[in-house]
Amino acid sequence: MQIVTQTNIQEFPLLSRGKVRDIYELDPETLLIVTTDRMSAFDVVMPRPIPYKGAVLNQITLFWMDMFKDVVDNHLISSDVQDYPKSLQPYTRELGGRSVMVKRAAPLPIECIVRGYITGSGWKDYQRTGQVCGYTLPQGLLESQKLEEPLFTPSTKAEAGEHDENIDMQQAGQKIGDQMLEKVSSLSLSIYRQAREYAEKRGIIIADTKFEFGISKGRLMLIDEVLTPDSSRFWPADQYKPGQGQSSFDKQYLRDWLERSGWDKNPPPPDLPQEIVSETTNKYLLAYKLLTGKELIQGGSNAA
């Protein structure tokens, strides 16, 4: 499979080049989203790509969108390059397996985060205040402990180069309206619970995740990536032990190396050793295989 760090499609206007995705406008109502192998950590793009990562993220998203298509609408039109405009056919090798043609939607201005275990910034907040994003939790919880009930903890959606900030439900309601907030929080928690139960049976604990929703022609739909190793924390279930940090299938492995490297989390980032790149690739591929029961194949839309 071809490694893709950046696309350069001349036939359509490039709307944005994010930390990972290149987005093109096919027409006023249709977008092409290409998930590259760029790696972002601490909101900084790393100097080296992670081979096949983009295809894994794309295929896992397709897998979950298909699973939950009867729960909530999504923006997917097609992931088969043969369905794309003819002018994109010369880019088949570049786009195959890592791109989607989608309905254009106006993203809601919040990130919909669900936390099922106490870890990361939530663990740090709990140690300091006994709370996570405004929720008061029982005393004596251990790091990485499963919460009695998952928490919906919205955040702002930061501009490029900035960091998302946790907000409470009142602030989130001011941004999107209380009725919409109730709908997306309910959907987020429902999808997370079902996905967590499914993944646990296949050896993966989904500790937390982030969903994005948008509005298209007045309809709420699930957009962007869904329950991927970039938008979630995936832990191997057979190694799980509360009271410590966990090994992971996601980019936490790479973040941990960056933390140990002494990098101050400001550009430029350090170069990544080959063993870190290779092991991160292996973790992404294993997560895909465990979730779907399939091997990643070149150019395939084998997850949907």
Residues 143 and 248 in one domain: yes
Domain-located, residue 130: yes
Helix, strand, or coil (residue 223): strand
Domain-located, residue 5: no
* CA 162 to each of CA 80, 123, 187, 213: distance values in angstroms, whole numbers, following the listed order: 34, 22, 27, 20
How many C-beta neighbours within 10 Å does residue 71 have?
A: 12
Residues 139 and 229 in one domain: yes
Residues 151 and 96 in one domain: no
Instruction: Give the Cα separation of 268 and 66 in Å (integer).
Output: 38
With 70 as the cut, is the pLDDT of residue 252 above it?
Answer: yes
Q: What domain range is 156 assigned to?
A: 107-257
- The per-residue pLDDT for 160 is 55
Residues 42 and 81 in one domain: yes
Domain-located, residue 304: no
Residues 245 and 147 in one domain: yes
Structure confidence by residue, pLDDT tens digits, 82-121: 999 999 999 999 999 999 999 999 999 999 999 999 998 8
Domain-located, residue 60: yes
Residue 234 sits in a domain whose CATH number is: 3.30.470.20
Which of the four pLDDT bands, split at 50, 70 and 90, describes residue 299? very low
Residues 51 and 102 in one domain: yes
- The per-residue pLDDT for 163 is 67
Task: Compute the residue count for the chain.
Answer: 304
- Tell whether pTM > 0.85: yes
With 70 as the cut, is the pLDDT of residue 54 above it?
Answer: yes
Give me the torsion for CA of 228, 229, 232, 233, rounded to 10°: 150
Residues 41 and 182 in one domain: no
With 90 as the cut, is the pLDDT of residue 296 above it?
Answer: no
- Taking alpha carbons only, the member of 199, 164, 169 closest to residue 181 is 169
Residues 22 and 145 in one domain: no
Residues 114 and 237 in one domain: yes
With 90 as the cut, is the pLDDT of residue 203 above it?
Answer: yes
Residues 101 and 113 in one domain: no
* Residue 131: partners with Cβ closer than 8 Å, 6 or more residues away: 125, 137
Domain-located, residue 4: no
Domain-located, residue 299: no
Residue 21 sits in a domain whose CATH number is: 3.30.200.20
How many domains are contained in the chain? 2
What is the Rg, in whole angstroms, of the alpha carbon atoms belonging to the chain?
19
Residues 135 and 249 in one domain: yes
Domain-located, residue 168: yes
Residues 152 and 242 in one domain: yes
Domain-located, residue 283: yes
Helix, strand, or coil (residue 175): helix
Instruction: Give the Cα separation of 235 and 213 in Å (integer).
Output: 25
Q: Which residue carries 């092991």 as its tokens?
A: 279
With 90 as the cut, is the pLDDT of residue 133 above it?
Answer: no
